[in-house]
C-alpha cells in the first residue's frame, strides 16, 4: 500500500506541474489585461504597476518567476485586492468553502446512499420509481436555477432564512436561537447538496442492483441469512465502490468550485474569488485557486484509490 501511494504521488507531481503551466500561459495569452480598465492613468503609472507585478518582463521570464514563488509556497500579491496576498485571500475563502462544501457532500452522501439502497431493494416498484423520479428532477435542475428559487421562496417570501450575508437572520433564527449561527449556511448547503443527492442515489441504485444479482449474494440468501445482514454485510461494501469513486473528485469540486452558489449568496468563498479574479484578470489569484483545486482533486483521487483496496480485497493496490 505504501509503495502504491508513493507511485501515485510521483505521478501527481508532474501532473500538477503541467496544470500550473497550462493555466499560466492560458491566463496570460487571453485577450485583455489587469490594467486595461485604468484608462485614465498616466502611461508611466501603468508601466510602474506592470513592473510591480513583473508583467513588464517577457512571458517566459514571468513564468519562471512564478514557478519560483510557487516552489516557496507563495502565490504572490493579488492585483484586484490591493495590499492582500493570494495566500491571505485563500486563507479567508477556503474555510467558508470547506464549511459549505463538506456539509453539502456529507448530507448528499447520507441521503443519496440511503435512497439508492431503498430504490435497489424495491426495483421496478413504486418506491423505486418515486426515488428515481426525484433523482432525475434533482439532476435536471442545476444549482444556478435552484439557488435563486430557494432565495426567493425561503428568503424573500417566507423570510425564514437570511440571504446574501453570513450574519444570522430570518424567523427561523429567532424561533430557534441555538441554530442561529448556522442559518446563513442552510440555503447554500441545500442548493449544493440536492444535485449531489440525485447523482449519488442513481450511482448507488445501479451498483446495488448489480451486486444483489451476484452469485455470492444468492448463496448468502440460500443459507438463510437475514436480508438486512445480506445487504449491509455483503452487498453494501461492493455497492459503494462507484460512489466512492465519484465522491473523490466531487468533494474537491464542490469545495473549491461552488462558483455559482457562492456568487448568488454573496459568500466570501473560493468560488466567488475565482469569478472576480477571472473578470478582473487577477492572474495570481486565479492561478492560486487553480493550484489549490488541482491539488485537492489529485489528493482525493489518491484517497479513493487507497479506499478501493480497503472496500474490495480483490482490488490490489499495486495494480
Taking only the tens place, the pLDDT of each residue in 261-278 is: 888 888 888 888 888 888
**Phi, psi dihedral angles at 187 (to 5 degrees):** -65, -45
| Count of positions (residues) in the chain | 319
Domain boundaries, the chain: 86-311
**pLDDT tens by residue, 100-154:** 888 999 999 999 999 999 999 888 899 899 988 888 888 788 777 888 888 889 8
pLDDT at 317: 45
Q: What is the pLDDT of residue 54?
A: 83
C-alpha cell at 262: 457562492
CATH number for the 86-311 domain, one of 1.10.3720.10, 1.10.3470.10, 1.10.340.30, 1.10.132.20? 1.10.3720.10
Low-confidence ranges of the chain (pLDDT < 70): 1-2, 4, 37-39, 41, 256-257, 309-319
Residue 247: predicted pLDDT? 83
Q: Is 85 helix (H, G, I), strand (E, B) or coil?
A: strand
- Per-state percent for the chain, helix, strand, coil, to nearest 5: 75, 0, 25
Q: How many CB atoms neighbour CB 141 within 10 A?
A: 14
Grid cell for residue 225 = 441469512
Whether residue 104 contacts residue 193, with contact meaning beta carbons closer than 8 Å, is answered with: yes
DSSP reduced 3-state for 104: helix
Amino acid at each position: 500500500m505504501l509503495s502504491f501511494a508513493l507511485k501515485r504521488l510521483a505521478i501527481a507531481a508532474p501532473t500538477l506541474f503541467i496544470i500550473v503551466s497550462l493555466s499560466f500561459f492560458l491566463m496570460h495569452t487571453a485577450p485583455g489585461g489587469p490594467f486595461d480598465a485604468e484608462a485614465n492613468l498616466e502611461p508611466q503609472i501603468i508601466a510602474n504597476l506592470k513592473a510591480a507585478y513583473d508583467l513588464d518582463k517577457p512571458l517566459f521570464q514571468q513564468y519562471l518567476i512564478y514557478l519560483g514563488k510557487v516552489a516557496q509556497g507563495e502565490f504572490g500579491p493579488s492585483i484586484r485586492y490591493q495590499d492582500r496576498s493570494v495566500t491571505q485571500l485563500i486563507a479567508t475563502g477556503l474555510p467558508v468553502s470547506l464549511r459549505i462544501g463538506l456539509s453539502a457532500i456529507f448530507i448528499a452522501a447520507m441521503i443519496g446512499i440511503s435512497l439508492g439502497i431503498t430504490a435497489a431493494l424495491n426495483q421496478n416498484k413504486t418506491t423505486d420509481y418515486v426515488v428515481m423520479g426525484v433523482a432525475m428532477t434533482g439532476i435536471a435542475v442545476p444549482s444556478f436555477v435552484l439557488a435563486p428559487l430557494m432565495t426567493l421562496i425561503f428568503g424573500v417570501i417566507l423570510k425564514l432564512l437570511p440571504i446574501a450575508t453570513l450574519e444570522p437572520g430570518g424567523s427561523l433564527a429567532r424561533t430557534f436561537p441555538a441554530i442561529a449561527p448556522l442559518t446563513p449556511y442552510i440555503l447554500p448547503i441545500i442548493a449544493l447538496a440536492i444535485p449531489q443527492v440525485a447523482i449519488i442515489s442513481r450511482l448507488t441504485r445501479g451498483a446495488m442492483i448489480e451486486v444483489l444479482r451476484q452469485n455470492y449474494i444468492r448463496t448468502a440468501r440460500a443459507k438463510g441469512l437475514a436480508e438486512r445482514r445480506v445487504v449491509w454485510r455483503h452487498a453494501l461494501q461492493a455497492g459503494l465502490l462507484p460512489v466512492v469513486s465519484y465522491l473523490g473528485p466531487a468533494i474537491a469540486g464542490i469545495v473549491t468550485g461552488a462558483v455559482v452558489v457562492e456568487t448568488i449568496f454573496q459568500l466570501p468563498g473560493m468560488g466567488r474569488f475565482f469569478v472576480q479574479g477571472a473578470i478582473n484578470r487577477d492572474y495570481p489569484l486565479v492561478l492560486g485557486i487553480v493550484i489549490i483545486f488541482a491539488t485537492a482533486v489529485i489528493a482525493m483521487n489518491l484517497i479513493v484509490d487507497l479506499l478501493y483496496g480497503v472496500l474490495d480485497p480483490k482490488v490490489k493496490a499495486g495494480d
